[in-house]
Amino acid sequence: MIDRLTCLLCPIGCELEVETDGERIDVRGHQCDKGPDFAAEEVLRPKRNLAASVPLRGTADRMVSVRLSDRVLRELLFPILAEIAILRPAAPVRRGDVLIKNVLGSGVDVVATRTVD
Amino acid sequence: MTGREFDVAVIGGGPAGLAAALGARRAGTEVLLLERENRLGGILNQCIHDGFGLVMYKETISGPEYAERLIEDVDREGIKVETGAMVLDLSADRTLRVNSRSGYGLVRAKAVVLAMGCRERTRDMIEIPGDRPAGIWTAGTAQNLVNLQNLRIGNEIVILGSGDIGLIMARRLTFEGMKVKGVFELLPWAGGLERNVRQCLHDFSIPLALSTTVIDIRGRDRVSSVVVARVDERLKPVPGTEREVACDTLLLSVGLIPENELSKRAGVSLSAATGGAVVDDRFMTSAPGIFSCGNVLQIHDVADWASLEGFEAGKNAASFARDGLPAGEKAVRVATGEGIRYVLPQVIRRGIAGVDLHFRVTRPRRNVWIEGRGASTGTTLFRRKFPRLLPSELQKLKLKSAPDEDLEVSAHD
């Protein structure tokens, strides 16, 4: 079977052609050595990062933006978003602070992407 | 009024302006960085998604992180920063009229870097007929409201235009529990990057309808629906293809326009193709000592490239502040030929090799040659084959040798 997909790792967005034949995966069209691993992952178990923005505890609109420390399986995005939705970090928050460690046992953390004093 | 004096004044503290201030400072000049918002970072502050920094920092980070890293460098390096400072006027002799927290005053600079960024095209500019209800925003305004002000902008969303901000917002609003009913694009191809079509739309089964536009907006107080229709090759709506889509919110992601009001005041020549200044290979505009970089010069699809342009423009502004303009400079002009929307820089000084040519194609192409030929002799100066080029992608190509006649750049199968 041949899949066509766009590599998501950088803005170049290489057009990848992935041929799967049982266990074997052939990848064409990548411009860097990360392409084949991405393609295999994308065909079998796609992973994504996510970003959101939550208010500081006790405020309505002093926002801290967050993301995941690494990409997770795509089906975990909405369960993790539900955890982030109830997050109300207390000031001060530094960029890189871990706000939820190992969120839902995914192995990745929810981290602050902004410093708010 | 005598005013304050600086070697280099940078207008705008986003990804390009921050880098320009650093570039000028590291070249040993006294730098003033002016930002009209209350904090530095520009549009990066509301771009909370990741994908920034791959070129600058070799890792993928979010907009706010990218901004903070640049701002920390600016703080460390002794650059004079004024936020809440709006430049009201700029003249060709590099006098700035500034309304700042300490009041109105003049700034005189030996060199100026323009880094004011861009604005979004609005409903009025694309002339959508219909009612005038609440619930219509540009995608970037929605991004600001949602990410920085914690507001819920609606429940059922339609997005007109497939620019990157619109695609990013389709995903963001889906994450916030809103229903994005579709993205409609006038052209037969997406305006944003392929990766964003995939990870922001396909991932969430949000339909993208190409060659389709919004022809009517309905609603009394609030948007209640829009009418969409297919368009033909001349981009005219095809009768009989209309369909009504119920929604309470319409976002527009229909293009960005460099914000060059100050450049015009200073008499800087602008390009109709880019909407930004005409510049030479050091990013200097037609007004000597005034440089331009980032989205005020050309719309970038990656912030890192705006910053790289900023570093260069800042460094070159510092040289100008120190040495002025060398006597007897000669230059060649770079024109756009068939299949090319624009090429930048539009001017290259004679004897300068290694210039990066930025360009965009007019339509998607496969296995296409990009060629630069001498305008008078027809000699080919460079020729390079690209497997695939899209209008949504700003491309770079290095000119190895120094052109010694005017050039025309074109695309061929």
- B194 to A74: CB separation less than 8 angstroms, yes or no: no
- Burial class of A33 by CB neighbour count within 10 A (0 to 12, 13 to 18, 19+): exposed
User: H helices then E strands: how many in chain A?
Assistant: 2, 9
Of B176, B198, B301, the CB nearest to A8: B198
For residue B91, what are its two tokens? 């003249």
In chain A, which residues have pLDDT < 50? none
A81: left (phi over 0), alpha (psi -120 to 50) or beta: alpha
Chain A residues within 8 Å of chain B (Cβ atoms) = 5-11, 13, 15, 46, 48-53, 55, 60-61, 63, 65-67, 74, 77, 81, 95, 113-115
DSSP B76-133: HTT-EEESS-EEEEE-TT-EEEEEETTEEEEEEEEEEEE---EEE--HHHHT--B---
What is d(CA B295, CA B117) in angstroms, rounded to the nearest whole number?
4
* Nearest-CA distance B286 → chain A (Å): 32
DSSP string, B367-406: EEEEEEEETTT--EEEEEEEEEE-TTS-EEEEE-SPP-S-
pTM over 0.90: yes
CB-CB contact of B198 with A8 (8 Å) = yes
Output the tens digit of pLDDT for each of chain B's 413 residues: 568 999 999 999 999 999 999 999 999 999 999 999 999 999 999 999 999 999 999 999 999 999 999 999 999 999 999 999 999 999 999 999 999 999 999 999 999 999 999 999 998 888 898 999 999 999 999 999 999 999 999 999 999 999 999 999 999 999 999 999 999 999 999 999 888 999 999 999 999 999 999 999 999 999 999 999 999 999 999 999 999 999 999 999 999 999 999 999 999 999 999 999 999 999 999 999 999 999 999 999 999 999 999 999 999 999 999 999 988 899 999 999 999 999 999 999 999 999 999 999 999 999 999 999 999 999 999 999 998 899 988 999 999 999 999 999 999 99
Phi and psi for B404 in degrees, rounded to 5? -115, 10
* Contacting residues of B for A48, CB less than 8 Å apart: 199, 203
Instruction: State the pLDDT at residue B1.
Output: 59
**Residue B375: exposure state from Cβ atoms within 10 A (0-12, 13-18, ≥19):** middle
Interface confidence (ipTM) of the complex: 0.92
d(CA B278, CA B350): 17
**Quick check: B48 and A13 CB within 8 A?**
no
CB-hemisphere CA count at 13 Å for B317?
Answer: 41
- In this structure, what token pair is assigned to residue B201? 């739309």
- Answer yes or no: are the C-beta atoms of B408 and B375 closer than 8 Å: yes
Separation CA A85–CA A92 (nearest Å): 19
Q: CB distance from B362 to chain A under 8 Å?
A: no
Residue type, position A42, single letter = E
A52–B48 C-beta distance less than 8 A: yes
CA pair distance B354, B398, nearest whole angstrom: 6
Residues 6+ apart with CB under 8 A from B182: B158, B159, B206, B207, B208, B209, B228, B245
**What does the H/E/C string look like for B172-227?**
HHHHCCCEEEEEECCCCCCCCCHHHHHHHHHHHCCCEECCEEEEEEECCCECCEEE
Cβ contacts of B71 on chain A, cutoff 8 Å: none
Measured between beta carbons, the chain A residues lying within 8 angstroms of B197 are 6
Compute the distance between CA of residue B22 and CA of residue B281 in angstroms, rounded to an integer.
19
